[in-house]
Amino acid sequence: MNRISSVVLLLLLASLALILGLAVISLAQPSSGIGQLVNMQMSNSGVDHPVTAVLLNFRGYDTLLEMAVLLLAVIAVWSLGSRSSPQQTPSNHSNPILLALFRMLTPLMIVVAGYLLWVGAHAPGGAFQAGSILAAAGVLALLYDQRLAGRLSSWSLRFSLILGCAMFVAVATGVMLGGAHLLQYPLPWAGSLILLIELAATISIGLTLTALFYGTSTGERP
Amino acid sequence: MTSNSLLFFFDALLVVTLLWLAWQSMSSRDLFRGIVSFIAFGLLLALIWVRLDAPDVALAEAAIGAGLSGALLLTALSRLESSAKEKKDE
Amino acid sequence: MSQEILYALAGVGLFVLGLHGLIVYAHLLRKILALNIMGSGVFLVLIALGRRSAVADPVPDAMVITGIVVTVSATALALVLLLRLKEMTGHTDLEQNDRHHEQ
């Protein structure tokens, strides 16, 4: 790229930055926002933490679509891969630090994931955070021995991947049988339904992110 | 100095480091250095989420944005460079 | 300058920085990094502006958590596409003119 076009590009970007900065500053006036409204409706949501209530109840439709996006990403990554060949996968059994880390951290990570899932109802936490810790445990396992990916039978793997999205859709449409609208949880069951959805979502998210890592690191599909 | 202005300097320092790490991650000659700068960028961003009273976002950013994203980028880089090495040996 | 304005301007700066990197660098991995940085800039603007009221606004937090997960899945797909491109053509950029024919 020659000098003139790079100078022109810098000028254009600087003016864009100026315009966006002015727009952002004009938006930053203290205003009443929606936090007050959410706090008033918290008793109707079934959980005690506002972010979890927004994610799983008030804007549950967006989270449903996000689970579908994750599923779509796994399908796309797998469709670009080749059938896995069982022979040339290496294993890092000889690395003592990796072995020690794997044995100490993996059970700890599973416990931490379970705690984050449970505590998401009344403190920072929830399905996505817990699912990402499970994914970290999965990545550590794959780094230790890639053949571990073959241990999960293909049917149980695929079932667990769709479990989160399927459970969410099932609950979202199941409440319609009682006469409510889509995703309108009946109030006495809201907390337990949210926990059920989050449990399925945690397992799904952990496995999906691990599957994405597997697809990127080997280019194969299980 | 009042604690308010000290906190402002802390925030300003975080912002400057964030911008510098972002610049380094895209423009460094060695791609490995760039990806490591990106992981550091993600961790610093997690710290900024804590500063902004968003602990859920901080948890998600540290685990997914810095950790998993970094792992994905590093394995992709190792596959890119191993195939480049094979090409050279041919 | 309050805390929200500082971080919101930092978000704008990250966005423009990422846009510059997206345009200027040819290597696709740098473009992927630039896109991630642009996304993080947008998240910063969202959450910083969500702190402008006295009561913390939880809706941008939820949107940004969703955004982070979607970003990582898009990054994974983009990386797999890049690896496939490298496998099939041997190049890691999309320059499609004389430069490749010369090599």
pLDDT category of residue A85 using cuts at 50, 70 and 90 = low
pLDDT in tens, A54-70: 999 999 999 999 999 99
Distance between CA atoms of residues A70 and C72, nearest Å:
9
- DSSP conformation class of A220: E
- The helix or strand, by DSSP H or E, that contains position B88, with its residue range, turns out to be helix B69-89
Strand partners, A131: none
- pLDDT mean over B65-87: 89
Confidence of residue A127 (pLDDT cuts 50, 70, 90): very high
Please write the tens of the pLDDT for every residue from A22-35: 999 998 887 777 88
Across-strand partners of A83? A221
| Range scoring the smallest mean pLDDT among A211-215, B84-88, C9-13, C90-94 | B84-88
Query: Is pLDDT at A83 greater than 80 in this prediction?
Result: no
The two three-digit tokens of residue C33, written as one number: 């990094």
Token pair 């409440």 in the structure block, residue: A175
Of C19, C50, C76, the CB nearest to A73: C76
Distance from CA of C97 to the nearest CA of A (A): 14
pLDDT value for A87: 56
Q: Of A132, A213, A219, which is closest to B63 when you measure between CB atoms?
A: A132
pLDDT value of residue A163: 93
Q: Tell whether the model's pLDDT for residue C100 goes beyond 70.
A: no
* Alpha-carbon distance A70 to nearest alpha carbon in chain C (angstroms): 6
Give the separation between CA B67 and CA B55, rounded to whole angstroms.
Answer: 17
d(CA C99, CA A14): 30
Q: What is the mean pLDDT of residues C29-38?
A: 96
B88 touches chain C (CB under 8 A): no
| CA separation for the pair A36, C57 (Å, rounded) | 8
Chain A partners of B75 at a C-beta cutoff of 8 Å? 213, 216-217
- Distance from C-alpha of A200 to C-alpha of A165, rounded to nearest angstrom: 8
Total count of residues recorded for chain C: 103
For helices A190-218 and B69-89, give the axis angle rounded to 10 degrees. 10
Of B63, B71, B75, the CB nearest to A133: B63
pTM over 0.90: yes
> Rounded to an integer, what distance in angstroms lies between the CA atom of residue A191 and that of residue A22?
43
What proportion of chain A, given as a percentage, has pLDDT over 70?
Answer: 95
**Structure-block tokens of residue A158:** 């695929």
Cβ atoms A104, A179 nearer than 8 A = no
Nearest-CA distance C5 → chain B (Å): 11
In whole angstroms, what is the distance from residue A60 CA to residue A52 CA? Answer: 10
In angstroms, the separation between the Cα of residue B47 and the nearest Cα of chain A is 15
Q: How would residue C103 be classed by pLDDT, with cut points 50, 70 and 90?
A: very low
Q: Any chain A CB within 8 A of the CB of B19?
A: no
Task: Look at A157-171, A178-192, B71-85, C78-92 and tell me which has the smallest mean pLDDT.
Answer: A178-192
Band (pLDDT 50/70/90 cuts) for residue A86 is low
Give the pLDDT confidence score for residue B68 in this predicted structure.
96
Q: Does C11 touch chain B (CB under 8 A)?
A: no
Of C8, C59, C69, the CB nearest to A70: C69
What was the pLDDT predicted at C102? 47
State how far the Cα of C89 lies from the Cα of A117, in Å rounded to an integer. Answer: 44
Strands (E), chain A: 82-83, 220-221
* Chain B residues in contact with A126 (beta carbon < 8 A): 56
Query: What residues contact A124, with CB distance under 8 A and at least 6 apart?
Result: A49, A51, B55, B56, B59
Mutate to test the interface with A, among C3, C9, C22, C59 (most CBs of A within 10 A): C59
